[in-house]
Chains A and B, each alone.
Chain A
């Protein structure tokens, strides 16, 4: 149990790091893991599309329908949680 939790934490950190790198590359700014990504004007439709496609390609997941919610994309932490949830669902 403890081991599984530790593993999950590591994975979340990995996704958060990767995502932060992507955001820095594409927007020039480094957000905090809990920073509201919608509070600034940077999430254009084009960038949102690039972000979704990047996550799908990198983690071999599909993000469709209700998963494309504002809550799932609100912060780096929220996105990482969604990625882990979807990738474990694909695996099972």
Chain B
């Protein structure tokens, strides 16, 4: 069986005689070949980030990238006189990516060797290979989600957000308010589900049971009147954070069964999980239902346990739990405990606006 190569998450470009033809210091009008422009646009659409490591004067080189109309495609440009191994390490650290997910393209064998010497995991390509890149498996993700295509703009917005946060001296709550956060909760359709599959796979710290619901599992439940599949997106004045949460509810007469709650690590510091839980609790209170959340302790989800407990969930017994599927009968539910709550109305969050459908229990008599 052939090994699937690790996908490249960020490609770092050299500029002179790699991205553009010629050397900027000798020819201020260096040109960009059409096939290179196509490669940049295509990799961007696939959700692969692109950065720059070039030995040049920063402002001069960046102005040229802008004039060529491609500057917007790059994050974290490292243009200066540092060794390229150092530039690449900086890029990987800032993105919080492992070095084995970084690729580097440069026409100079000595530059590639210098990078390889310090970071053997970084995959290096000669400038002559540019046209092949989009055909290589390591640059070809199997599924390209809506969010993947927007990944670069989400990272760019993230850098701006971080910069503002660092310069902000007031309390966190005021900073959060200054972001104009809007959380949109909606009933999932098939397009939304392709966005959250990645989320349920990736967010093991923020998954209450460690159970992975596949795209197909959730798809089948969309049409089921006894279930509710909800997706959550978050936006602020810097732009979208993309799909940041997914929730699966099972409706019963006296109790709503929260089977899955997964939120993205990217938005934990905004308090998105607590806002989502409080919204759900208010909805259940309005419908006169209790809430029972599945919880299974894993090595990594203590944060989730604390989130449930702090929202008021307990492990007290309640008669409503008798109507839920037993944990003995189904091997898939082994080790899953209920966290129970008698729902009460919660105040609106002070740090963001929530747009959501009413979870009307009237439809289910």
* Chain A residues within 8 Å of B, Cβ to Cβ: 26-29, 38-49, 52, 65-66, 68-70, 73
Q: Which residues of B contact A (CB under 8 A)?
A: 169-173, 175-176, 206, 268-275, 302-307, 309-312, 314-315, 347, 349-352
Closest chain A residue to B307, Cβ basis: A45
Partner among B171, B312, B314 whose Cβ is within 8 Å of the Cβ of A42 = B171
Q: Give the complex CA separation of A68 and B175 in angstroms.
A: 27
Q: Give the residue of A26, A44, A49 whose beta carbon is less than 8 angstroms from that of B271.
A: A44
Cβ of A70: which chain B residues have Cβ within 8 Å of it? 309-312
Residues of B within 8 A of A47 (CB): 269, 271
Q: Known contacts A27-B171, A49-B306, A68-B306: does B350 contact A44 (CB below 8 Å)?
A: no
Which residue of B is nearest A26, CB measured? B172
Sampled A-B contacts (11; CB under 8 Å): A27-B171, A27-B172, A38-B310, A40-B350, A40-B351, A42-B173, A42-B351, A45-B303, A48-B310, A69-B309, A70-B312
Which residues of B lie under 8 Å from residue A39 when comparing CB positions? Answer: 347
CA distance A66 to B316 in the complex (A): 9
Q: In the docked arrangement, what's the CA distance between A76 and B211, Å?
A: 36
Q: How far apart are the CA atoms of A41 and B349 in the complex, in Å?
A: 6
Whether the Cβ atoms of B171 and A28 lie closer than 8 Å is yes
Contact A66 B274 (CB under 8 A): no
B274 to A73, Cβ gap below 8 A? no
In Å, the complex CA distance between A65 and B206 comes to 18
| Known contacts A42-B271, A45-B273: A29-B305 contact under CB 8 Å | no
Task: Report yes or no: B310 in contact with A73, Cβ–Cβ below 8 A.
Answer: yes
A-B pairs with the 6 shortest C-beta distances? Answer: A41-B351, A29-B171, A44-B271, A28-B171, A68-B309, A45-B307
* B310 near A41: Cβ-Cβ < 8 Å: no
Establish whether residues B350 and A45, one from each chain, have CB atoms under 8 Å apart when the complex forms.
no
Q: List, in ascending order, chain B residues with CB within 8 A of A68's CB.
A: 305-306, 309-310
Complex contacts, B304 vs chain A, CB 8 Å: 45
In contact, B275 and A41 (Cβ under 8 angstroms): yes
- A-B contact sample (4 more), CB < 8 A, given A45-B310, A46-B268: A29-B173, A40-B351, A47-B269, A70-B309
Question: Do A42 and B172 touch across chains, with their CB atoms under 8 A apart?
Answer: yes
A42 to B171 alpha-carbon distance, docked (Å): 9
The residues of A that contact B310 with a CB separation of less than 8 Å are 38, 43, 45, 48, 68, 70, 73
Given A46-B269, A69-B314, A41 and B309 touching (CB < 8 A)? no
Asked whether B273 lies within 8 Å of A28 as measured between CB atoms, the reply is: no
Question: Quick one: closest A residue to B312, CB to CB?
Answer: A70
Name the residue on A nearest B349 (C-beta): A41
In the complex, which residues of chain A have a beta carbon less than 8 angstroms from the beta carbon of B302? Answer: 49
B269 / chain A contacts, CB cutoff of 8 Å: 44, 46-47
B173 contacts which chain A residues (CB < 8 A)? 27, 29, 40-42
Q: Which of B170, B274, B349 interacts with A45 by CB under 8 Å? A: B274
